[in-house]
Amino acid sequence: MYSIEQEETTIQSQHLWRWRDLALIILGTVFLLVVGVILFIIFNVMRGANPEDLLEPTVAQTIGLTALEAIALIGGVYLFGLRRRGLNWDAVGLRSASTTWYLIAFVATLAIIPLASLVTIFVFFVTGQPLENPQLDFLLPEGLSAIDALAMLFLAGFAAPFGEELLFRGVLYTLLRERWGIWFSVLLSSLLFGIIHGNFAVGLTGFLLGIVAALVFEYSGSLWTAVLVHSINNSLKIGLLYLLVKLGINV
In a domain, 207, yes or no: yes
Q: How confident is the model at residue 13 (pLDDT cuts 50, 70, 90)?
A: low
pLDDT in tens, 68-127: 999 999 999 999 999 999 999 999 999 999 999 999 999 999 999 999 889 888 887 877
The pLDDT value recorded for residue 10 is 44
Q: Is residue 112 part of a domain?
A: yes
The helix (H) or strand (E) run that includes residue 190 is helix 182-195
Residue 84 makes CB contacts below 8 A (sequence gap 6+) with 21, 24
Please check whether residue 251 lies inside any domain of the structure: no
Under 8 Å between Cβ of 109 and 233: yes
User: Is residue 203 a part of any domain in this protein?
Assistant: yes
**7 pLDDT above the threshold of 60:** no
- The helix/strand count (H/E) of the chain reads as 12, 0
Q: What is the pLDDT of residue 52?
A: 66
pLDDT at 215: 98
**CA 24 to chain CA centroid, nearest Å:** 18
Helix/strand/coil (H/E/C) assignment for every residue in 156-175:
HHHHHHHHHHHHHHHHHHHH
Domain extent for 113: 4-246
pLDDT exceeds cutoff 50 at 2: no
| Amino acid letter for position 185 | S
* Distance between CA atoms of residues 15 and 177, nearest Å: 10
How far CA 50 is from CA of 15, 124, 134, in Å, comes to 49, 38, 24
User: How far is Cα 217 from Cα 105, in angstroms, rounded to an integer?
Assistant: 9
- Residue range 122-169, pLDDT digits in tens: 887 877 776 666 677 788 888 888 999 999 999 999 999 999 999 999
Task: List Cβ neighbours of 21 (8 Å cut-off, separation of 6 or more).
Answer: 81, 84, 85, 171, 175
Q: How far apart are CA 38 and CA 207, in angstroms?
A: 30
- Going from the C-alpha of 250 to that of each of 137, 156, 242, 247, the distances in angstroms are 13, 22, 11, 9
Establish if 206 belongs to a structural domain.
yes
Task: Identify whether 124 is part of a domain.
Answer: yes
Q: How many CA within 13 A on the CB side of residue 159?
A: 18
How many domains are contained in the chain? 1
Neighbours of 208 (CB within 10 A): 20
What was the pLDDT predicted at 51?
66
Which tens digits make up the pLDDT trace of 174-216? 999 999 999 999 999 999 999 998 788 788 899 999 999 999 9
pLDDT of 86 reads 96
Domain presence at residue 201? yes
